[in-house]
Structure 1
Amino acid sequence: MLGGMFSADERDERVRHKLVESLYTQPMSLALGAFCGVCASLTAVYVTRSVPLAAVSAMLALIGIVRVLMASHVARFNLNRDAKTLELLYEVGAFSFAFASGLVGAFTLLERTNSHVEVLVVVYTVAYGVAIASRNAGRPLIAIGQLLLALLPVIAVSFYIGTIGLIALGSLLIFMTLAMSSITMNIFNVLKEQIMAAEASAEMADKMRDLARTDIVTGLTNRAGLNHELVEKLMSLPDGEQMALLWLDLDKFKEVNDTLGHPVGDRVLAEVASRLRARAPADATISRFGGDEFIVVCKVEDRCVCENLAMAILEDIRRPLRLDGERIETATSMGVALLPDDGADIDTLMQSADLALYHAKISGRNQVCFFDASMTRNLVRKKEIEAELRAALQRDELSIFFQPIVDLETGRIRAFEALVRWFHPEKGELRPDEFIPVAEETGVIITLGNWITAQAARACAQWPEGVSVAVNLSPVQIRAPGAALGILTALRDAGLDPSRLELEVTESLFLDDNQHTARFIDELAAKGVRFALDDFGTGYSSLGYINKFPFKKIKVDRSFVSGPNVGIKSDAIIRAVAEMGATLEMDIVAEGLETIEQVHTVRNAGCTLGQGYYFSRAVPDYLAAMLLAQELESPPSKRLVG
């Protein structure tokens, strides 16, 4: 239940406590009242020389001192005691002092030795009773009780003596007691209403604060609530103990929202929250950080305990759930960081867990990744590459090289694959596998990909009509707004027929967003652009993609041509793919050809095109033009292809 929502009994108890606290506020007023009473009584004792009056005065002084000391102590240290105890302590002292004050007034009147002294003591007693009725109105029974105990002895003695003046005094005191009782009750009611209004406002503020810190879908704390609780957890963490922060990101949750709707998505989030509550330690803070991200923070004994907890949470979330007859598969990527090993403060700890989560996602998702210091070094390196790559695009440090794709039957060049090269002015040549992944992660690949396509189209426009150019496309580039328009613009600016452009895509393109990808491919295929499926055989559903999309070419991954696993099985796979290609009227490209034996093998298996170092490495555009010129001058050597 949200904080700020209390029962009526709890609210009444807090109101009572505050009213009782008002009795102990300003102990100096009690000290001044006691001082005035002691001075008046001592004056009466000095004048009357009365032994009973002296005894009552001594009792008054002793009670006054004890009350002042107790009030000062309680006000400073013990206002958190229960209201009943505080009220009882005050009642004993208050009633005792009031009755002693009344007795001093009564005994002074009985002595009848000095009218001035009688006036002094009676005035003090009346003033004390009236003042205390107002001061202690927060507890009206105490206030009225003190008033009665102070004035009744004086009233009784006044009627006992029976002079006209004292009878009038006693009568007036009776009426004044009634009036002050009414005033006391009025003050009490005003105080109570004000305190209850303040309590109600405080409860509403607490409720609003808790609502502001709570996620309405899951009932977990939200980002604001997490920040608040993290501070409290860190402050209360004993020295030498560890705290773990587990950052979860549900894998492919967007597909649930897109296919089943947001209401079902919200129910999935609520179910994940329920599983986290059931699995996490009792003192853990569990938060929906935003979207489909969750954070669990808890104390752990050591890294091994944390690993067991993380794997248990991973397994819990993996369990399929069924909503409205739909079986929904759930999975999550998780990054984990430990305090103080991976960060001495909250911000650093969260950065470490976020970085670990990032590595869990790029490493294949559906797994747990613990933070390691090397991740920070890699991040710094990636940031450096990103900044330098952006600058390289502006300074024309990048170049396009072209590797020929050769017809295995005729030995002639049918196409060139465009490959980017980066020659850094200080670091020399940087490998594509260093900067292409960084470009994809940071979005720079969109600019880079458009630039490569434009450069490749311009080069191809200068080649013979029968030669095309192949460009690799990143999934990030394809999903960018206006991706198809950018490619068509590059073709138009270069004056290149769309049929001479081949766009190579890998199966990873189809894993997350089939509808968007299909629209992109259909739009460009309608204009005549050709598509090739790259790295065939390394994915999960290649045949399904071939059946669905208008591929004109399949590139068999180099792992089937060269490497330690080449053998009878790989030859059989190549042959099967080649037969399928022949049936579907598709070209089959064998990648990674390095020897004449490999060329013979893939050609005999039925592959129609070949690419690799045996024919040529990737070369600058002017050398590509020279290769084509040489073909025109003389036919290719039959020795190259068999």
Structure 2
Amino acid sequence: MARAFGAEAQDAQIRATLAQRMHRRPIGLFTGVVCGLATGCVVAALSTVPLLRMAGSLLAVVAALRVVLAYVASESGGSAGDWARRAYPAGALLYAGTIGLAAATALLLETQNDLKILLVGFAMTLGAGIAVGNAARPVIALGQMALTFLPISLACLVLGTLPMLTMGLILPALAAGLTFVTFTAYDGLAQQVRAAQEEQRLAAQMQEQARRDTVTGLANRYGFETAAQALLLHDETRQMKALLWLDISRFQEINDLFGHHKGDLVLAEVARRIRTLLPEGAVAARFGSDEFVILAPVPSHRGVEELAAQLGQQIKNPIRIGTDRLEAGVAIGIAFAGPGSRDLEKLMQHGALALYHAKLAGRNQIAFFNPAMTRELARRKEIESELRGAIQRDELALYFQPIIDLATGRIRAFEALVRWFHPEKGELTPDEFIPVAEDTGLIITLGNWITRTAARACASWPGDVHLAVNLSPAQLRAPGAALGISAALRDTGLDPARLEFEVTESLFVEECHETTVFMEHLAAIGVRFSLDDFGTGYSSLHYINKYPFSTIKVDRSFVSGPATGLRTEAIIRAVAEMGATLGMEIVAEGLETADQVAGVRAAGCTLGQGYYFSRPVPEHLALRLLEEERGLAGRLLAG
């Protein structure tokens, strides 16, 4: 009994599990009580002894109540089912005691032998069956055996005959053996339940790990999709939902400069800051290496704007990792799901499009999805597909615009410009297809083709005429980019000193190691670099000081834009003086009139480019310009 009470106290959860299984499948319980009902009814009907008839009737009533309780416990929910299950132990003990007393009464009274055999046989059968049937509750099992066997054993001792005395001693021994059977069955059941519970725990743990990002502690992609879908399907608030897709800028640079360990610490800190701002009921996850996604119920469009602004500010704040002070930015794309919307896939597509436009707009920008983005995406997909075919079918052509020495009027260089003549849509401007090429990686193939084709053309020009080629950041950062350009120069026979790459300040906004290595490698073999569109970005002197630029191109807005005047002239003069001091060429773009040419020349610019001299022309016309220029040097300036 001590062990029974110990098992009851220690394994409450196991007992509850086993009891639930018993009540879910109560076939054994129903069988036992139906047999008891039948036994009680037979005894009550056939016994000639009033006291035994009363015992039989009581047994039938208790058995009937057990049938009702068993049914309610297994089939009913709520308070009725709970009450029936709580009443089960008391009912089991009452039922066993009633059977034991009825059997003992039959033994002590003068009645039919067949009724004695029926009652004692049923009592002993039930008492033995209890050992296994109620093994989930050892206390109840032992209590039922005691209440069943003890009255019979006492009755046998009262009768005093040798057979009865033998039975009276056998029953306690039988009870001891059945107790062992009870605990053996209980231990086996308990081990099964423990094993099942451990499997469930491990499965739940593995499922949680499968849904969790180990670096940030946020959900991963799978976990987010599961939680977000549940939020859309089961949200009772019927609020509008906002998806915020965040892309951390400069994270790759942090990884490259400080290592992946500190990069992980930065991600963990970003995740912590995101958590502090999450609205109630929101789901947040880390997507990819440096992207985070949030789905949140929101009261209004204005509320989302404020949340996005707070997220942007928090992430832009410096992050202290050890002795290092790191800074990152963030682009945020936002899409909305109306009340009742359940299409997570479409919402994710809209969020990704919004993020794409935020990144196009520059650093630390926020963009909201609108349907025009979908149309634009379809248009870009169409251009991408057609551009791949155009490269293969040689639909692209190079045009060359001369760059003129403002002191002599001679052609000093040609800038190579790509043109696409679509067989159905006519000429497509570079502004239409170059951004698509950059976003899809086609710019690498296109840029290599431009460099090789232009270098081959330049190799046939006079040796003092240089070639200028625009360089995309994506092309520069491609693996082996410098080696590919070196191979193109070698194959075409062009002197590297005649090639100049034009790059914009956007290349340096997120400085990276690859940029420095690329430029240093090519500069070492003689290739020159020009800083294009100077004056439209940060116009940072840091870039000029750090990188090997030999030329600065003043943006056309300072030459022919609507805001030209004394201020822009002063700016051009200052840049020209700086270039002269540093030994750099200064190119004025967008020259369209003789007065503009005279103005930039007076300001100190050394080179000029624009429609005043020539529009971009095909290769054969570029050769003709060179031929004419050799005999008529200075004609354009004199005219």
Q: Note if 1:503 corresponds to 2:501.
A: yes
Distance 2:256 2:133 in 1: 68
Alignment correspondent of 2:269: 271
Q: Distance in 2 between matches of 1:343 and 1:428?
A: 43
Structural mapping, 1:349-498, within 5 Å: 349-498=347-496
Report the Cα offset of residue 128 of structure 1. 0.9
Match of 1:42 in 2: 41
Question: Which of 88, 91, 108 matches 2:89?
Answer: 91
CA contact (8 A) 1:40 1:121 kept: yes
Q: 2:313 maps to which residue?
A: 315
- When structure 1 is superposed on structure 2, of 569-578 and 520-529 the one drifting more is 520-529
Q: 1:75 to 1:168 in 2, by over 3 A?
A: same
Query: What SS class does the counterpart of residue 561 from structure 2 fall into?
Result: coil
Contact 2:28 2:133 in 1 (8 A): no
Superposition TM-score, scaled by structure 2 size:
0.93
What is the CA-CA distance between 1:612 and the residue it aligns to?
0.7
Q: Does structure 1 conserve the Cα–Cα contact (< 8 Å) formed by 2:248 and 2:290?
A: yes
C-alpha contact 1:343 1:349 (8 A) present in aligned 2: no
Render the CA deviation track for 1:167-223: whole Å, top value 9, x for unaligned. 222222222122212221222222223322322332233223223322222222222
Deviation, 1:82, is 11
Amino acid at match of 2:288: G
1:596–1:641 CA contact under 8 A, matched in 2: no
Q: Separation in 2 of the partners of 1:199 and 1:384?
A: 55
Partner in structure 2 of residue 601 of structure 1: 599
Say what the alpha-carbon RMSD is for the aligned residues: 2.5
Q: Which residue of 1 aligns with 2:517?
A: 519
Query: How far apart, in 2, do the equivalents of 1:222 and 1:377 lie?
Result: 30
Q: Determine whether 1:281 maps to 2:276.
A: no
Q: Which amino acid aligns with 1:599?
A: V
Q: Is the 8 Å Cα contact of residues 409 and 641 (structure 1) preserved in structure 2?
A: no
Q: C-alpha deviations, 1:309-333, integer Å up to 9, x for none?
A: 2222222222223332333223221
Map residues 63-82 of structure 1 onto 2, 5 A cutoff: 63-78=62-77
State the distance in 1 between where 2:79 and 2:252 align.
52
2:287 partner SS: strand
In the alignment, the residues of structure 1 paired with residue 546 and residue 18 of structure 2 have an alpha-carbon distance, to the nearest angstrom, of 78
Paired AA for residue 334 in structure 2? V
Partner of 1:133: 131
> What residue number does 2:623 align with?
625
1:33-87 CA distances to partner (integer Å, 9 max, x unpaired)? 222222223322333233333333233223222222322332234499999x676
Task: Report the 3-state secondary structure (helix = DSSP H, G, I; strand = E; otherwise coil) of the residue aligned with 1:366.
Answer: coil
Q: 1:17–1:82: 8 Å Cα contact kept in structure 2?
A: no
Give, as a single letter, the amino acid of the residue that structure 2 aligns with 1:246. Answer: L
Q: Is the 8 A contact 2:75 2:81 kept in 1?
A: no
Letter in 1 for 2:530: A
Contact 1:403 1:616 in 2 (8 A): yes
Equivalent of 1:168, from 166, 189, 195?
A: 166
Q: Is the 8 A contact 1:112 1:118 kept in 2?
A: no
Match of 2:329 among 328, 331, 335: 331
In 1, the alpha carbon distance for the partners of 2:48 and 2:532 equals 119
Which of 117, 124, 140 does residue 119 from structure 1 map onto? 117
- Number of matched pairs: 633
Which residue identity does 1:617 align to in structure 2?
R
5+ residue gaps, structure 2, are: 1-7
Contact (CA 8 Å) 1:408, 1:641: kept in 2 or not? Answer: no
Shift in alpha-carbon separation, 1:153–1:23, aligned structure 2, 3 A: farther
1:282 & 1:537 partners in 2: Cα distance? 46
Segment of structure 1 superposing worse, 575-584 or 466-475: 575-584
Distance 1:98 1:537 in 2: 99
SS of the equivalent of 1:14 reads helix
In structure 2, what is the equivalent of residue 5 of structure 1? none
Contact kept? 2:39, 2:60, Cα under 8 Å: no
Structure 1 counterpart of 2:37, one-letter code: V
Q: Which residue of 2 aligns with 1:158?
A: 156
Distance 1:447 1:221, change over 3 A: same
Paired position in structure 2 for 1:566 = 564
After TM superposition, give the deviation of residue 570 of structure 1 in Å. Answer: 0.4
Measure how far apart 1:237 and its partner are.
1.8
What is the CA distance between 1:153 and its match in structure 2? 2.2
Deviation at 1:566, TM superposition (A): 0.4
Query: Is residue 243 of structure 1 aligned with residue 232 of structure 2?
Result: no
Structure 1: distance between partners of 2:326 and 2:374: 35
The one-letter code of the counterpart of 1:275 is R
For 1:60, the equivalent position in structure 2 comes to 59
- Post-superposition offset of 1:397: 0.5
Deviates more, 1:398-407 or 1:198-207: 198-207
Deviation at 1:472, TM superposition (A): 0.7
The answer to whether the 8 A contact 2:41-2:60 is kept is no
Deviation for aligned residue 1:274: 1.6
- Inter-CA distance 260–615: structure 2 relative to 1 (3 Å threshold): same
- Structure 2 distance, partners of 1:429, 1:395, is 15
Taking the aligned partners of 1:168 and 1:283, their CA distance within structure 2 comes to 72
Change (3 A) 1:370 1:486: same
1: CA distance, partners of 2:327 / 2:614: 47
1:571 deviation in Å?
0.2
Aligned CA distance change for structure 1 residues 99 and 211 (closer, same or farther; 3 Å): same
Q: Which runs of 5+ in 1 are unaligned?
A: 1-8
Residue identity opposite 1:165 in structure 2: P
Relative distance call for 1:348 and 1:99 in structure 2 (3 A) is same
CA contact (8 A) 1:342 1:348 kept: no
Residue 94 (structure 2) pairs with residue 103 (structure 1): no
- Of residues 209, 225, 228, the one that matches 2:226 is 228
The whole-number CA distance in structure 2 between the counterparts of 1:317 and 1:13 is 49
Alpha-carbon shift at residue 424 of structure 1 (Å)? 0.4
SS in 1 for 2:400: strand
Question: Which AA in structure 1 matches 2:207?
Answer: R
Counterparts of 1:29 and 1:280, CA distance in 2: 54
Taking only the aligned residue pairs, the percentage that are identical comes to 50
Q: TM-score, normalised by structure 1?
A: 0.93
Q: What letter matches 1:66 in structure 2?
A: L
* Structure-1 separation of matches of 2:543 and 2:38: 104
What is the rounded CA distance, in whole Å, between the counterparts of 1:637 and 1:192 in structure 2? 104
Shift of 1:560: 0.4
C-alpha spacing 1:433/1:492, structure 2 compared with 1 (3 Å): same
- Aligned partner of 1:619: which letter? V
The alpha carbon displacement at 1:442 in A equals 0.8
Deviation at 1:338, TM superposition (A): 2.0
1:272–1:317 CA contact under 8 A, matched in 2 = yes
Shift of 1:342: 12
| AA aligned opposite 2:381 | K
Specify the code of the residue in structure 2 equivalent to 1:433.
Answer: D
Distance in 1 (alpha carbons) for counterparts of 2:353 and 2:500: 37
Deviates more, 1:205-214 or 1:368-377: 205-214
Output one character per residue of 1:223-273: Cα deviation in whole Å (capped at 9) or x when no partner. Answer: 232233223223312374322222212111222223333333222222222
The residue that corresponds to 2:5 in the other structure is: none
1:215·1:222 contact (CA, 8 Å) conserved in 2?
yes
Question: Distance between the aligned counterparts of 1:544 and 1:330, measured in 2?
Answer: 20
Distance, in Å, in 1 between the alignment partners of 2:146 and 2:412 is: 116
Cα separation, 1, equivalents of 2:568 and 2:442:
37
